[in-house]
Amino acid sequence: MPVLLVADAAVLVLVLTACGDGGASREIKLTQTDKGCTPAEITAGAGEKLKLVISNETGHIYELEGEGDAHFEEVVVPEGKTRSANFTAPDEPGQYSLKCYDPGGVSSEIKVRVAGAS
């Protein structure tokens, strides 16, 4: 019986780990409006794991994606909805960009300033 309890506990740990937020250490709230996205700038440590919470306050679809070396997969946020996505800041200090846009409409840039090791 004790072996079964240990096996059950191990499975529970694996399930909770898989359902977690990927170790994101800090939550950043982004808002999409008809004028673009805010905030216009995010500061992060090199390699820092962030959870981006993206709220679309418009009446149409908005998208957010990394440009260049930002390496952030596109997230589509339907009108009036909120989506979350994990983003790991690049390992190299510098400035990177996230493009926030309404396909065929307004487009804005969120600058990601990456400092030294977090």
* CA angle (42 as vertex; 20, 86 as ends), nearest 5: 20
Q: Which segments of 68-106 are extended strands (E)?
A: 75-77, 82-88, 94-101
Contact assessment for residue 83 and residue 32, using Cβ atoms and an 8 Å cutoff: no
The domain segmentation of the chain, as residue ranges, is 24-117
C-alpha closest to that of 65 among 55, 80, 57, 77 = 77
CATH architecture of structural domain 24-117: Sandwich (2.60)
Condensed to tens digits (0 to 9), the pLDDT of residues 81-114 reads 999 999 999 999 999 999 999 998 999 999 999 9
pTM, 2 dp: 0.77
